[in-house]
C-alpha cells in the first residue's frame, strides 16, 4: 500500500508527496518479496496551468438614422473558458452615429473571488457598423428674395432662408431631423427697375461641394441630397414720380 496527497485549484506547481510506509511488493506468483527491495520515495509534482478565456463582442449593423448605435444589452458573441461559476461583468464603451465602422470595445471586471492569475484572458472586439440609408435623406434650401424701389443705386440680395450667423443654413431633412448645410452662395444685384423682368438669384456651390452636418456636428453629407429652390428673385420696382403744374 502507498498514498500520495496533493490538492489545489489555483494556478501553480505543487509537490505530490509519496508515502510508501507499509508498502508490499509481490512477484507474479503473489509471493511477498518486499525484503528483497530497497524502496526510495521520489515525490512528484502537480502543475495547474492557466485556463484560456476568449471574450469577443458582437458585430452590430444598422442604417444611418441620426441615432447612436451601441452594444446595449447584446451579449458577447464569444465567451468561453471560464471554470465553474467563474466569470466577469462587462461594460461596453463604444458608439457609432455616422456611416463607417467602430470597434465594439468593452472592458471587464472579474466576479468576486475570481483570480486573474488563473486565466489567460484574450479580448476581441466586434464592430459597430453604420451603413448608408437605402434612400438618401433630402432637404431643400431657399435663397432669399427681395423687393425694393428704384433709387438709382445698386440694389442686391444674398443669403438663404434660415441662414445662421456662421453661414450655415438650417434645414429639416426628409427624416424630420434638423441639419445644417454649408457650401452654397446666393446673390443677385441690379440698378434699374425690373418690374417686368425680375432678376433671378444666382446660386453657386463651393469648389469642394456642399457639406451637411447633423445636430451633433457629425458630417452626414454622404447620406444627403440637397436641392435648391430656384424661384428666388430681386425685384426693383419703378419709382413713382408725380408732376404737378403751377397754378
Q: Residues 93-135: pLDDT tens digits?
A: 999 999 999 999 999 999 999 999 999 999 999 999 999 988 9
Is residue 72 predicted with pLDDT exceeding 90? yes
Q: What pLDDT does residue 4 have?
A: 44
Contact between 169 and 178 (Cβ < 8 Å): no
* Mean pLDDT computed over 210-238: 93
Paired residues of 204 in beta bridges: 185
Give the cell for residue 131. Answer: 451603413
Stated as kind and residue range, the H or E segment containing 118 is none
Q: What pLDDT does residue 121 have?
A: 97
Contacts of 92 (CB under 8 A, 6+ apart): 57, 70, 71, 72, 104, 105, 106
Better-scored residue on pLDDT, 135 or 59: 59
Separation between Cα atoms, residue 22 and residue 17, nearest integer Å: 15
Q: What pLDDT does residue 42 have?
A: 74
User: What are all long-range contacts of 172-176, with beta carbons under 8 Å and residues at least 24 apart?
Assistant: 172/139, 173/137, 173/138, 173/139, 173/224, 174/137, 174/138, 174/139, 175/65, 175/66, 175/137
pTM here is 0.67
| Residue 125 φ/ψ region, left for φ over 0, alpha for ψ in the -120 to 50 degree band, beta for the rest | beta
Task: Convert the pLDDT of each residue in 83-93 to its tens digit.
Answer: 999 999 999 99
Amino acid at each position: 500500500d502507498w498514498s500520495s496527497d496533493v490538492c489545489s485549484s489555483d494556478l501553480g506547481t505543487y509537490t505530490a508527496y509519496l508515502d510508501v510506509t507499509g508498502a508490499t511488493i509481490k512477484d507474479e506468483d503473489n509471493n511477498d518479496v518486499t525484503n528483497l527491495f530497497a524502496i526510495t520515495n521520489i515525490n512528484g509534482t502537480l502543475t495547474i496551468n492557466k485556463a484560456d478565456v476568449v471574450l469577443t463582442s458582437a458585430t452590430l449593423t444598422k442604417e444611418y438614422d441620426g441615432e447612436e448605435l451601441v452594444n446595449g444589452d447584446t451579449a458577447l458573441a464569444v465567451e468561453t473558458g471560464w471554470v465553474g461559476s467563474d466569470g466577469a461583468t462587462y461594460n461596453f464603451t463604444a458608439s457609432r452615429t455616422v456611416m463607417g465602422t467602430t470597434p465594439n470595445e468593452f472592458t471587464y471586471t472579474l466576479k468576486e473571488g475570481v483570480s486573474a492569475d488563473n486565466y489567460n484572458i484574450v479580448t476581441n472586439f466586434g464592430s459597430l457598423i453604420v451603413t448608408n440609408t437605402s434612400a438618401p435623406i433630402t432637404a431643400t434650401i431657399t435663397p432669399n428674395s427681395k423687393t425694393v424701389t428704384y433709387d438709382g443705386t445698386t440694389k442686391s440680395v444674398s443669403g438663404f432662408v434660415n441662414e445662421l450667423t456662421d453661414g450655415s443654413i438650417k434645414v429639416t431633412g426628409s427624416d424630420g431631423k434638423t441639419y445644417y448645410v454649408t457650401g452654397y452662395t446666393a446673390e443677385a444685384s441690379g440698378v434699374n427697375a425690373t418690374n417686368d423682368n425680375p432678376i433671378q438669384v444666382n446660386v453657386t456651390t463651393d469648389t469642394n461641394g456642399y457639406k451637411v452636418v447633423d445636430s451633433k456636428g457629425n458630417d452626414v453629407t454622404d447620406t444627403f441630397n440637397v436641392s435648391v429652390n430656384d424661384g428666388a428673385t430681386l425685384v426693383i420696382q419703378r419709382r413713382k414720380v408725380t408732376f404737378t403744374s403751377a397754378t
